[in-house]
Amino acid sequence: MLTKILIFTSFCLTLAACGAEAAPTAVPITAAPTPTLTAVPPTPFRIIGYVTDAVIVELVPFEKLTHINYAFAIPNRDGTLKPMANGWKIDNLVRQAHEHDVQVLISVGGWGHDETFEVLAADPAARDRLVQELVTLVEKHNLDGVDMDWEYPDPVSISPDSAQNYVKLMQALGAEMRARGKLLTAAVVALGEYGAGVDPVIFDEVDFLNLMVYDRGGEGHHSSLEFVQESLAFWRGRGLPPEKMVLGVPFYGRPNYATYKQLVAADPAHALTDEAEWNGRTEFYNGIPTIQEKTRLTLEQASGIMIWTLEQDTLDETSLLQAIYQTVQNAP
């Protein structure tokens, strides 16, 4: 176990000494009630960080992670992959990650590529081509697997074929990954109608699912504790085992999409709240207390935390990743 860097009470006193006029009004952090659940099986707790092609590999805190998802490989409608920006970084990232026993997956798709996925998944030839291109990419860069990020397959209420085409794609990809001892995961919607686009048969194909519990519409907090409870209950109700359930948390705010790093740079006291004034508007995000509480909930009800994205975090005692890591290390 690493030497503890953050002592929360000392940090609070340090922030208080910075000057009362600089500190915003703290948003009360209300802990969500702990439900009565069957204990989660003893699965090693996952801490998964997404990085983009802008990542500075030398700044990645590998020692606090179990997995890294490199975003994104972008598919074409015929199942081929677009050339990757800064693809040269992948080999360096994989080498350093493996030195720290951290697994690296290639994340495929992302927001804005739904139409492409719909077309290629409906075409058996394109679907098979994508699977083979991903196999080649994984082997070329010594990656540990694939994270599918189709946002989102349509439920039957919208399209009669989309969900089943997603199943066919994931089954074909899962077979290839398992044959090579690799992982298959997927990022999925937090809850709601589009959650039905992920047929429960997928649960047997994946090693785990990353629940994107952020970007909730409407005014106010886009990633609240209540949203977490609702999402975990939704996927539990659909039959997803807790050992395959990973909670996604944001390292950015809304509506301005300020990064946590920017917010804390503007005022270190922002690390302890969930709201801050930013460009004349109230920015809603997750500070240290909320991230700690989410981590505790996940330790009870799921098997890991996923972060979007590592580049948005600080690198000092205010780090949200550090708060997650220390909460896990200090768990009973």
CB 276 within 8 A of CB 285: yes
Let me know if residue 2 belongs to a domain. no
Domain of residue 151, residue span: 41-252+287-329
Of 37, 27, 21, 97, give the one whose Cα is nearest residue 297.
37
Q: What is the pLDDT of residue 88?
A: 86
CA R_g for the chain: 20
> For residue range 226-274, what is the model confidence (pLDDT) as tens digits?
999 999 999 999 999 999 999 999 999 999 999 999 999 999 999 999 9
- Answer for the pair 271, 288: CB distance below 8 angstroms, yes or no: yes
Question: What is residue 266's predicted lDDT score, i.e. its pLDDT?
Answer: 97
Q: Taking the alpha carbons of 255, 260, 266, 272 in that order, is the dihedral positive or negative?
A: positive
Average pLDDT over residues 148-164: 97
Q: Show the CA angle centred on residue 249, arms to residues 102 and 158, nearest 5°.
A: 110
Query: Which amino acid makes up residue 176?
Result: E
Q: What is the 3-state secondary structure (H, E, C) of 131-161?
A: HHHHHHHHHHCCCCEEEEECCCCCCCCCCCC
pLDDT at residue 16 greater than cutoff 80: no
Q: Please give the distance of CA 294 from its chain centroid, rounded to a whole number.
A: 13
Position 268 in a domain? no
Q: Does 98 or 42 have the greater pLDDT score? A: 98
Domain harbouring 149, CATH code: 3.20.20.80
pLDDT band at 218 (very low <50, low <70, confident <90, very high): confident
Residue 92, SS3 per DSSP:
helix
Residues 273-317 pLDDT 10s: 999 999 999 999 999 999 999 999 999 999 999 999 999 999 999
What is the C-alpha separation between 303 and 43, in angstroms, rounded?
7
Using 50, 70 and 90 to split pLDDT, how confident is the model at 86?
A: confident
Query: Is 271 exposed, middle or buried, given 0-12, 13-18 or 19+ CB atoms closer than 10 A?
Result: buried
Q: Is residue 323 part of a domain?
A: yes
Total domain count for the chain? Answer: 1
> In degrees, to the nearest 5, what angle opens at C-alpha 72 toward C-alphas 67 and 74?
145
Residue 71 lies inside a defined structural domain of this protein? yes
* Over residues 149-161, mean pLDDT: 96
Q: At a CB cut-off of 8 Å and minimum separation 6, what does 127 contact?
A: 79, 120, 121, 165, 168, 169, 172
Give the mean pLDDT of 163-169.
Answer: 98
Q: What confidence tier does 8 reach under pLDDT thresholds 50, 70, 90?
A: very low
Residue 15 lies in a domain: no
- Asked, for residue 131, whether it belongs to a domain, the answer is yes
* Spatial CB neighbours of 155, under 8 Å, sequence gap ≥ 6: 162, 163, 193, 194, 195, 196, 197
- Residue 48 in 3-state DSSP? strand
Q: How many CA atoms lie within 13 A of 39 on its CB side?
A: 3
Residue 34 domain-assigned (yes or no): no
* Residue that wins the pLDDT comparison between 220 and 81: 81
Residue 261 in domain: no
Q: What pLDDT sits at residue 9? A: 39
Share of the chain above pLDDT 90, in %: 84
- Tell me what pLDDT residue 42 has: 57
Query: For residue 5, is pLDDT > 70?
Result: no
